[in-house]
Amino acid sequence: MTGNTPLHLGVALDGAGWHPAAWRQADARPKELFSPRYWADLVTEAEAGLLDLVTIEDALNLQSDEFAEQDARADRVRGRLDAVLIAARVAPLTRHIGLVPTVIATHTEPFHISKAIATLDYAATGRAGVRVQVAARNDTAKHFGRREFPPIDLARINEPEVQQLVADHFDEAADYVQVLRRLWDSWEDDAEIRDVATGRFVDRDKLHYIDFDGRWFSVKGPSITPRPPQGQPLVAALGHADIPYRLIGRAADLGFVTPHDAEQAADLVARIDEQRHTAGRQDEKIHVWADLVVVLDDTEQAARDRLAALDELAGTEYTSDAKIFTGTPAQLADLLVQWQAQGLSGYRLRPATLPHDLQRITRGLVPELQRRGLFRTEYPQSGTLRGLLELDRPANRYVRA
Amino acid sequence: MTKQIHLAAHFPGVNNTTVWSDPAAGSHVEFDSFRRFAQIAERGKFDFLFLAEGLRLREQKGQIYDLDVVGRPDTFTVLAALAGVTQRLGLTGTINSTFNEPYEVARQFASLDHLSEGRAAWNVVTSWDQFTGENFRRGGYLAQGDRYERARTFLRTTTELFDSWNGVEILADQEQGRFLDTDRPGTFRHQDRFFDIEGQFNVPRSPQGRPVIFQAGDSEEGREFAASGADAIFSRYATRKEGKAFYDDVKGRLPKYGRERDDLLILPAASFVLGDTDAEAEELAHQVRRAQVSPQTAINFIEQLWNTDLSGFDVDGPLPSFDPVVEGEAIAKGRASVRQLAKDPIALANEWRDKAEVEKLSARDLVIEVTGRQTFVGSASTIAETINQFVQEDVSDGFILVPHITPDGLGPFVDTVVPLLQERGVFRTDYEGTTLRDHLGLKYPGDPQA
C-alpha cells in the first residue's frame, strides 16, 4: 500500500558533517564553518534537491565526544553559531525549503524564541519550524548560573529518581512548546485593522493574554509579533525513549526517531501513535521520520572504505544513536522504501560529511526516488513548510466560534 | 578639520512617529518592508540600520494601546535575515540586559557578527519593570538603583565571553588533524552579585572582535556608563543648543577613562520633512504632525501626564483645569514617555497651560507642539546645510534618521540630501571598509589574551 506514497526528506546540518573526522575530507571547508557563505551553499544545495527541510543543530555548550561532560579534544570541530540566526540568514536566499533550527528549551526564554521563530516564518514566508531540545548537562547549566543539575550517569538511567529528572526536563519542554504555540496564536490573523475612522491600528479584542502559569515559568503575553504566516510554525523533536515520545505525542508536528531495523521502526511509530492518543490529539497528524547517518558513494565498497578511512582519521570507530548507513543511493532508496512500509512518513538524513554526502542525497538519492515515483519532481508554486508536509494551517485557539 | 558625517536609518518602532494612515504606509512586520528599508539605506551609503525593542505590548488604562503601530519582529532574527540581503550596512539591535542571559546574548551577537561578516552592533538598554517581567522566567522587579549596576555587569560579562576566544585558535589543519590550537577554547569564569557563571563559550571570535556597543541612557549614571566603555550613544538631543550641551558633557567625560574624543560617537535620533521649497516643507511638516497626533492620540497623551481617565474630553478646547493626579500607579505601561512625564507632573502641566494660553493653542494643538516638531524641515539643500552645520559645530557626529512613512520614507532623503552632502565632501560616496567599525572609524578591540 504505502509503496507508492511519496516520502518526505530532510537533511540535518551540523558543522562539517556528523562524522568527527568530516572536517578532514578533501572537499570539506573547515575554515569556513563560521561564514555565512558556507551555510548558504549547503541550504541552497538542499533546496536544489527539492528536500522538505533542513534542520540545524545547536547547543549552549561546545561539542563533546563525551555524553555527559565536556571533553578536551583539539582534533574535532569545536564551536558553532546560533542556529536560529543561521536559518534567518539563509531565509531570504531560498524560496521553498523548510528551515528548522534547534532551540534549547532548558535555558532560553519561550517569549524570545516564540517571536524569533515567528519572525523566521515571516522572513522565510511560511517555511519556519523549530526543533526543541533539552540540555541536562550541569556544565551547560553553569553557563547560565541559575540552576544546578545532578551529574548524568548513564548506568543509572533506569532508576526512578533519574527517570523523574529526565521527565522533568521533557515536561518543561512541553510547557515551553505550549507557550510558543499560545503566543503564536495570541494575535488573531485579522487583528491589524488600520481603521482610519476610529484611529485604531489594531482591534485589541483580537489580541489575547496567554496567562500561562506553570511549574518552571509563567508568561503573560500577548506576543509582540503578530501571528506568523503559517499560523503555527512546525514543531519537531527527537526522541529515543518513552519520555521524549510523550513530548512528541503532546507537542510536536514532527518526531524524529532512531530505529535500527524495520521492526523497530514499526514499534516506534506505534509508540508515538499511542502517546498522540493519550495526549488527546486523535484528530491531529504527527509525522514520524527516522534519522539515519548516511555515507554514500557510487559503490558499496567505496562507501565502506570511506567510512573506514574517516574512522582511521578520527582514531575511533564512529558510533551514533541513529543507524549508520553505508552504500549507494539506490541501496539507500531500497531501505527507505522498506522502512516506510512500517508507517514512517519520511527521513531526516545526517550526512556523514559535507558537502559530499549532501550532494549524494540531492544528486543521487533524490533522482533515484523520483524514478520510482516516490519523491516530488518540483516544489509547489507557492508553499509553506506545513503545506509541504500536508498539514493544514491550524485555526487559532483564541478565536471564538 | 572637516568632520565626516555618520548617518543611520531607524526602522520606525511602535509609537506615533509612523503615520500608518498614509496610503503609502506599509507593513511593520513583513520582511519585505525591512528589506526595502535596509536596501534604501544601503543605497544611501548609510553607516547602519537601527532597531528598537519593546518586550511587552503597551497598555493604557489596563488595555492594550491601539492607536499607534502595534507589533514588531524579533530583533536578532530580522537583523540576521537582513545580513543576507545587504552587503555593507551595519546592523544595530536594541537588546535588553534585564530579560536575557549573558551567555545567550553574547552568542547571538557573536553569531550575528559572523553571519554579517562584521556588521553587528548592540544598543544596550535596561528595563526593570514587573509589567515587562511578566513575560519572562526571571519575572519581576529590579530596584532602580540596581539598574545600571546590573547593566554594567551584564555588559562586562558579555565582554569577557567575547574575549574568551582570541581569534587565532582555529587552525583547521587537515593534514595534522588539528582543528584548534587549544583543547579548552573559550574558557571563562565570572562571579559577582548578579552573575555566577563559568565554563566554555561556544562561538569563536567574530570579525569585529566584539559588536559595536551603543548606549541610550540619559541620566548621570547613563552618561558615565557610556563614557566609560560604549562606542556610540543613541541620544535624544538633536537641537543645536541641547545637542551641543550633551555632546560637550559626554565627550568631556572621556579623558578620565583614557579615551579619545573619536572613541565615542554621539548620534541623536532625528526626523525630517523634505519639500521642494522650505515653505512647502513647513506646510507638509504641519500636516504630518496633525496626522501623528489624532484627537484620540492627543487625549491619551494628556491622560498620561494627568494620570487620569479623560474619556470624552474635548481636545479642541483648553487643557484640563484641574491638576494631574500624582499618586497611584501610572495608567500607561510599557512605554518610555511615562517616566519622563512623571518627574514633576504638576509643574509640567502648568508649563503647558501657560504655553497654550500665550500661543492660543487648543489641547490637541498643544500636544502637537510639545511632541511633534521634526528635527529637520526644509528643502534638500536647507536640510543638507543644517545637518552639516550641526555636525561641524559638534552638536553631534551624525544622525539616526527615523522617517514617518514605512518602509520607503527614507528614499527622498537618500536621493536628494545625500548627494548634496557627498558634493560637500562630508559624506562617503562609497563604503571604504567592510565592517561597521570601519564605517564608524572605531578601533578594533585588541587581542584579549595579549
Q: What is the pLDDT of residues B177-197, one digit of tens each?
A: 999 999 999 999 999 999 999
**CB < 8 Å to B67, chain A:** 199-201
- Number of domains observed in the structure of chain B: 2
Q: Which residues of A touch B63 (CB under 8 A)?
A: 204
**Cα gap B158→B190, rounded to integer Å:** 10
Tell me, yes or no, whether B113 and B170 share the same domain.
yes
Helix (H) or strand (E) segment spanning residue B4: none
CATH of the domain at B24: 3.20.20.30
Ramachandran quadrant class, A27 (left: phi over 0; alpha: psi -120 to 50; beta: rest): alpha
Mutate which: B21, B55, B68, B77, vs A, most A CBs within 10 A: B77
Range of the domain at B434: 6-271+377-440
Domain spans, chain A: 7-135+232-388
Binary contact (B172, A23; C-beta < 8 A): yes
Q: Of B338, B372, B406, which residue constitutes the final position of a domain?
A: B372
- What residues of A are in contact with residue B100 (Cβ under 8 Å)? 109, 112
Burial (Cβ within 10 Å: 0-12, 13-18, ≥19) of residue B434: middle
Q: Which of B31, B110, B185 is facing A78, going by the closest CB pair?
A: B185
Query: What superfamily in CATH does domain A7-135+232-388 come from?
Result: Luciferase-like domain (3.20.20.30)
Q: A-chain residues within 8 Å CB-CB of B297?
A: 199
Among chain B residues, CA nearest to A203:
B66
- Compare all CA atoms of chain A with the CA of B13 and give the residue at the minimum distance: A224
Q: What is the pLDDT along chain A (401 residues), one digit of tens a residue?
A: 344 789 999 999 999 999 999 999 999 999 999 999 999 999 999 999 999 999 999 999 999 998 888 999 999 999 999 999 999 999 999 999 999 999 999 999 999 999 999 999 999 999 999 999 999 999 999 999 999 999 888 889 899 999 999 999 999 999 999 999 999 999 999 999 999 988 899 999 999 999 999 999 999 999 999 999 999 999 999 999 999 999 999 999 999 999 999 999 999 999 999 999 999 999 999 999 999 999 999 999 999 999 999 999 999 999 999 999 999 999 999 999 999 999 999 999 999 999 999 999 999 999 999 999 999 999 998 789 999 999 999 999 999 86
B chain contacts of residue A72, beta-carbon cutoff 8 Å:
183-184
Of A62, A77, A115, the CB nearest to B200: A62
In a domain, B352, yes or no: yes
DSSP letters spanning A163-231: HHHHHHHHHHHHHHHHHHHHHHTSB-TT-EEEETTTTEEE-GGGB----EE-SS-EE----SSPPPTTS
Residue contact A199–B296, C-beta within 8 A: yes
Q: Mutating which of B74, B95, B109, B158 best tests the A interface, going by the most A Cβ atoms within 10 A?
A: B74
Q: What is the ipTM of this complex?
A: 0.98
Q: B347, B372, B397 — which closes off a domain?
A: B372
Distance from CA of B328 to the nearest CA of A (A): 23
Final residue before a domain boundary, out of B349, B372, B395: B372
Among A31, A56, A64, A89, the strongest candidate for a mutation testing the B interface, having the largest count of B CBs within 10 A, is: A89
Strand A346-351 to B265-270 pairing: unpaired
Per the CB < 8 Å rule, is A123 touching B170? no
- d(C-alpha A368, C-alpha B375), whole Å: 64
From the CB of residue B39, how many other CB atoms can be counted at a distance below 10 Å? Answer: 15
| Sequence letter at residue A380 | P
Q: Does B338 lie in the same domain as B387?
A: no
| Whether residue B262 sits in one domain with residue B284 | no
Instruction: Estimate the share of chain B in helix, then strand, then coil, as percent rounded to the nearest 5.
Output: 40, 15, 45
Per-position DSSP letters for B269-293, written without gaps between them: EE-EEE-SSHHHHHHHHHHHHHHHS
Residue with cell 502517546: A275
DSSP B361: -
Q: Is the pLDDT of residue B320 over 60?
A: yes
Asked whether the beta carbons of A244 and A237 are under 8 A apart, the reply is yes
The one-character DSSP state at B209 is B
Same domain, B146 and B213: yes
Query: What residues pair up with B332 in beta bridges, in sequence order?
Result: B60
Q: Which of B72, B170, B295 sits opposite A225 (nearest CB)?
A: B72
Asked whether the beta carbons of A86 and A39 are under 8 A apart, the reply is yes
Q: Do B248 and B382 have their domain in common?
A: yes
| Beta carbon pairs, A and B, within 8 Å | 225
Nearest to residue B222, comparing CAs of B352, B82, B136, B336?
B336
Using an 8 Å CB-CB cutoff, list chain B residues near A116: 74, 76-77
Q: Give the pairing of strands A218-219 and A212-213.
A: antiparallel
- DSSP letter (8 states) at residue B432: -
Q: In chain B, what residues touch A78 (CB-CB under 8 Å)?
A: 179-180, 185, 202
DSSP string of B114-165, one letter each residue: HHTTS-EEEEEE----HHHHTTSSS-S---GGGHHHHHHHHHHHHHHHHTTS
Contacts of A217 in chain B (CB under 8 A): 136-137
Asked if residue B342 and residue B198 are part of one domain, the reply reads no
Give the type of residue at A94: T
In a domain, residue B448? The reply is no
Q: How confident is the model over A144-181, as pLDDT tens digits? A: 999 999 988 888 989 999 999 999 999 999 999 999 99
CB contact under 8 A, B73 and A118: yes
**Coil vs helix vs strand at A285:** coil
CA–CA separation, A125 and A24 (whole Å): 36
Flag whether B190 is in a domain. Answer: yes
The DSSP H or E segment spanning A237 is strand A234-238
A204/B172 Cβ within 8 A: no
B256 and B307 co-located in one domain: no
What number is the average pLDDT over the span B274-303? 92
Using the beta-carbon criterion (under 8 Å), do A201 and B295 form an inter-chain contact?
no
